Amino acid sequence: MLARLRWLADRLIGLAATIGALGLVVEVAVILADVTGRYFGRPLAGARDVSEMAMVVLVFGAMALCDRLGGHIAVDIFETRFPLWLRRAGDVASAILGMCLFLGIAWTVYESSKLSQLLNLSTNVINLPKVYFQWALSGFSVIAALGMALRAVELLVAGRDIREEPA
């Protein structure tokens, strides 16, 4: 059962990371076009709008993969002195705390998206609707939270840390 959940979670994480990578490609292309255009006196209209929205996709799309690979910042000065059970308890607690934080982000941004949809909020220059990016941010945050929840369950049930295994 856990193996199937991990397989599904890894596929969702991979999808989110792929979409985040596309956000990075868009970000780089827009910046390159804008800088080149500025050199010739024709900056790219709406470059800032597209850059801001692409950054949302880039950062939150990659967040679940960062957790899956153990890429988040960790201060482990005293960790080697702790017994294994205490280190595992800290890992479970941090996974649960991370899950709660990302679910909070998802819920808050989703609630904000309702207002954006009601007021038809958009970016300043080229009027990109903000609601779609808010939905994407919420979805990516839920994927990250689910990955963290599964990591906590795996630590508790199987006693293994998925971050120590290849993705």
Q: Is the dihedral of CA 133, 136, 137, 138 positive or negative?
A: positive
The CA dihedral of 92, 97, 98, 102, to the nearest 10 degrees, is 140
If you search the block for the tokens 């990250």, which residue do you land on?
Answer: 144
Task: Tell me how many domains the chain contains.
Answer: 1
Would you say the pTM of this structure is higher than 0.75?
A: yes
Burial of 159 from C-beta contacts in 10 A (0-12 / 13-18 / 19+): exposed
Can you give the pLDDT of all 167 residues of the chain as single tens digits?
A: 888 999 999 999 999 999 999 999 999 999 999 999 999 999 999 999 999 999 999 999 999 999 999 888 888 888 889 998 998 999 999 999 999 999 999 999 999 999 999 999 999 999 999 999 999 999 999 999 999 999 999 999 988 887 777 76
Per the structure, the complete domain to which residue 90 belongs is given by: 2-164
pLDDT at residue 155 in the model = 92
pLDDT at residue 158 in the model = 86
> Which tokens belong to 7?
């397989």
Residues in CB range of 126: below 8 A, 6 or more apart: 45, 46, 49, 50
pLDDT at residue 167 in the model = 64
pLDDT at residue 160 in the model = 81
